[in-house]
């Protein structure tokens, strides 16, 4: 069953279709934030989900308007943890940035994670200056810094991991 919820003009869905690997790679490339290798990886995660289903560990949420992909998120449980999830990707197309699509995507992902038994959601990004908007987005959404690694991606390109506690674990 395809879940599609209409909010205003934006439709959200969770099912992955055969055109999604290309659509996601195109969207990631269009943002101007990611390398060709990163766009290839984004495509590969969708292909893995298509090939293996939920056993892949990857879940997706798509935001669309009139059949056009506006943004998406990819997330999944952290292997060998009881209730931790990773937000692997969240990307919004350049023509709709600052329109609330990213906020709506991450809020829906957070609710989905809780429904799946998750208590914490982790997101990581680069420490390069051009990634400050991404870091500001996570902070604005209530995420706090959990870890920082110098020179993680490359010399001079560190990694920051954000965490948000979604429910109190008992």
Tokens for 77, please give them.
């449980």
Q: What is the Cα–Cα distance from 83 to 36, expressed in whole angstroms?
A: 32
- The model carries a pTM of 0.91
Indicate if the alpha-carbon torsion angle 163, 123, 98, 139 is positive or negative. Answer: positive
Q: Answer yes or no: is pLDDT of 8 > 70.
A: no
Q: pLDDT tens-digit profile of 106-127?
A: 999 999 999 999 999 999 999 9
Average the pLDDT over 16-31 and give the result: 97
Tell me the pLDDT of the chain averaged across its residues.
Answer: 93
Q: What is the Cα–Cα distance from 126 to 148, expressed in whole angstroms?
A: 10
Q: What is the Cα–Cα distance from 169 to 128, expressed in whole angstroms?
A: 33
**Domain boundaries of the chain, sorted by first residue:** 4-165
Fold of 4-165: Aminopeptidase (3.40.630)
Half-sphere exposure of 27 (CA within 13 A, CB side): 25
């Amino acid at each position: 069953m395809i879940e599609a919820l209409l909010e205003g003009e934006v439709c959200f869905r969770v099912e992955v279709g055969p055109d999604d690997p290309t659509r996601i790679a195109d969207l990631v490339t269009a943002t101007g934030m990611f390398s060709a290798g990163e766009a290839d990886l984004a495509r590969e995660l969708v292909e893995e989900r298509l090939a293996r289903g939920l056993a892949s560990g990857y879940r997706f949420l798509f935001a669309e308007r009139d059949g056009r992909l506006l943004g998406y998120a990819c997330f999944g449980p952290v292997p060998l943890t009881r209730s931790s999830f990773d937000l692997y990707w969240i990307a919004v197309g350049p023509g709709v940035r600052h329109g609330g699509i990213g906020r709506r995507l991450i809020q829906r992902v957070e609710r989905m994670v809780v429904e799946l038994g998750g208590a914490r959601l982790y997101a990581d990004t680069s420490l390069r200056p051009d990634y400050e908007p991404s870091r500001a987005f996570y902070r604005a959404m209530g995420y706090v810094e959990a870890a920082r690694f110098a020179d993680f991606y490359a010399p001079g390109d560190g990694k920051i991991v954000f965490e948000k506690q979604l429910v109190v674990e008992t």
